[in-house]
Amino acid sequence: MNEIYKAIGLLRSGEVVGIPTETVYGLGASIYSESGLNKIFHTKERPFFNPLIVHVSDIEMAKSLASDWCEIRETLAQAFWPGPMTIIAPKNEKVSDLITAAHSTVGLRCPNNEITLELIKKSNLPLAAPSANKFKRVSPVAATHVKEELGEDVFVLDGGECQVGIESTIIDVVGETIKIYRPGTITPEEIKKSLNHLNLKNLSVEFFSSPVAPGQLKEHYKPKIPVVVKNDLTYKAQSGEFVWLMEEDPYLVARNLYANFRKAEKEIFSKIIVLVDEKYTNDDRYVGILNRLEKAAK
């Protein structure tokens, strides 16, 4: 409890705080603090063209930051929040252009983590929070990772290990088209199913790229050593190689992905070899994982 109040004090004074979520740890600042927002970019060495996601405690807080909140957004929030979905919406005047990279929309998410939800509720501060790591680096999935990456000066609320392990699915709503800008662990089929009762005649869920969402760069999520993806499941490790045969369970793979990257770094391997069964390329549950591997291997 005292840790929560310490975090609130830091946020109100324009500082950044490491916050746990079910996806990865975030580096949070109050959306109303220009110094806090600037500190996010400075601490992460992140370019200002890359927008930040705003974390809220509930749907009402999200709606208070949006200039439009349609029935489809409401339905998706009801279905997937708290949880690993970020919903893009037109922003209102409460949301700084610094957060959105001067775009007219903002990414909103209600994380499924009791500590961070309590922090947002008690402070009544929506929190801008990208992942708590240096720009393009591996996202942290434990409090110790944040300290190792950003230094001891950053205060971190310890919420244990992240249960999802990769970043949220980012979606936008354009008419009756759901645009997935960043794949995560929520599949197109799950999105469609959640909207069934609306009886939308022209509903489609498609993958797109857009500068209004983070995670769009070709190189991202990179460890300090090279990553190589192979489809040869019988491959044997060579000297200095960390070899990981991806598990059959995609949710377990997502949870282990960044932890394995960091483990390989720490144990001074020279290369990470990820063995991927080709059948996973046709399984929507692996789209987010393969997206992260592709960017890490660039």
Q: Say if residues 112 and 82 touch (Cβ distance below 8 Å).
A: yes
Q: How far is CA 125 from the centre of its chain?
A: 19
Task: For residue range 256-292, list pLDDT tens digits in order.
Answer: 999 999 999 999 899 999 999 999 999 999 999 999 9
Stretch(es) of the chain classified as CATH 3.90.870.10: 2-168
User: Helix, strand or coil for residue 131?
Assistant: strand
What average pLDDT does the segment 133-157 reach? 96
Identify the band that residue 171 occupies on the pLDDT scale cut at 50, 70 and 90.
very high
CA angle 54, 19, 46 (to 5 degrees): 60
Instruction: Tell whether the model's pLDDT for residue 1 goes beyond 80.
Output: no
Residue 217's pLDDT is 85
Work out the mean pLDDT of the chain and round it to a whole number: 96
Q: How far apart are CA 41 and CA 50, in angstroms?
A: 9
pTM of the model: 0.96
Query: ∠ at Cα 268 (266, 274), nearest 5°?
Result: 85
Tell me if residue 120 falls in helix, strand or coil.
Answer: helix
Query: What integer pLDDT is reported at residue 84 of this predicted model?
Result: 98
Q: Which two tokens stand for residue 74?
A: 């409401």
Burial of 175 from C-beta contacts in 10 A (0-12 / 13-18 / 19+): exposed
* Structural tokens at position 103: 């775009």
| Cβ neighbours around 289 below 10 Å, total | 25
- Closest C-alpha to 273, from 238, 253, 244: 244
Question: What value, to the nearest 5°, has the Cα angle with vertex 158 and ends 253 and 170?
Answer: 50
Q: What is the pLDDT of residue 218?
A: 87
Could you confirm whether domain 2-168 is CATH 1.10.3720.10?
no
Q: Which amino acid is at 288?
A: G
Contact between 65 and 125 under an 8 Å Cβ cutoff? The reply is no
Take residue 165 and report the two structure tokens written for it: 């392990």
For residues 214-240, give the mean pLDDT: 93
- For residues 272 and 238, the answer to whether their CB atoms sit within 8 Å is no
* Residue 261 exposed, middle or buried by CB count within 10 Å (0-12, 13-18, 19+): buried
